Amino acid sequence: MNWLQEYKSALKNVYAEEPLDVYFFRPLAFVIVKTFYSFPITPNHYSLFAFIAGITSGFYFYQGTPSGYMMGALYFLAYSILDCCDGMVARMKKNGTEFGRIIDGVVDYTVNATVYITLALGLSKTIVPGMIQPWVLIVFAGVSKAVHSITYDHYLTEFLSYERGDGGFVAKEIEMVRKKLADSDLNKTPYFKRIALKIYLGFSSLQSGGLDQINFNPREYCQRNLHTLRMWSAIGPAVHIAVLIFAFLFNIPNLLYFYAIIFGNLWLLMMFTYQTKINQDLSRVKV
């Protein structure tokens, strides 16, 4: 198997993943994974490395200086690449665990929250008389990013589960985590694991957010939603991350404000309308 074939096999789904992930972040992550493949590095190690890089980026963003923004952007880039490594090495070595997937999710949520909070604190040191303050805009951008990412992740997860023939994955995942938490006292689950499960449950519930949990015909669902999922990816996590990195690497934060607050929210409204129409059509097809 050559590197290209091995790279494709290390992806969740080359057709469903965000284009920026497939053609930028994940290829760089694949090079790292292949370089250190023979070392005893587990998916959880890569999650730890990503966490350290992400928290370090927050440290630099908090400084509120052009050089701090540039360094923060570079460390956030490192986080974004390392964040792709854990899933890749898990699929390639077949050594992934259920708890490892939860840890990956917790690291993702924690780092992204840290980055936007520290950016807001850093930007609060800059006062612009008579205008909306930059820290207010970054808060709006962060909230918008969270809403966009939760929505995209919901539809991506549902697509992949329907492709496997077992739709409604998000609802099943929430039920599974709730059961684990209920059993955690009896099983003497370590405190850290219980905290991770609670955080993961909270964000999984947000991800569901009352969005459609109807079971559709899997074949019809995948046919109709492959192109739709690519449209959703225009406001997916990878694009938000790339825009943030570019905006603060070159000190043009207005780029992030425009993309996340204006374009992203208009696109979200348009996509909800389009997705509702598709779901209405699919509900008429027998499962």
How far from each other are the two terminal CA atoms of the chain, in whole angstroms? 38
Q: Tell me the three-class secondary structure of 160-219, residue by residue.
A: HHHHHCCCCHHHHHHHHHHHHHHHCCCCCCCHHHHHHHHHHHHHHHHHHCCCCCCCCCHH
Torsions phi, psi for 221 (to 5 deg): -60, -45
Kindly state the average pLDDT of the residues 122-132.
Answer: 81
DSSP character string of 79-105: HHHHHHHHHHHHHHHT---HHHHHHHH
Kindly state the average pLDDT of the residues 271-283.
Answer: 88
Confidence of residue 200 (pLDDT cuts 50, 70, 90): low
Confidence of residue 93 (pLDDT cuts 50, 70, 90): confident
To the nearest whole number, what is the mean pLDDT of the chain?
Answer: 85
Q: Is the pLDDT of residue 32 over 90?
A: yes
What pLDDT shows up at residue 202?
A: 67
What pLDDT shows up at residue 212?
A: 47
Kindly state the average pLDDT of the residues 102-124.
Answer: 92
Q: Is the pLDDT of residue 243 over 90?
A: yes
- Two structure tokens written together for 10: 């290390």
- Two structure tokens written together for 77: 């880039």
Q: Is the pLDDT of residue 269 over 50?
A: yes
Highest mean pLDDT among 115-124, 163-172, 206-215: 115-124
Kindly state the average pLDDT of the residues 203-222.
Answer: 64
pTM of structure = 0.82
What are the structural domains of the chain?
Answer: 3-282 (1.20.120.1760)
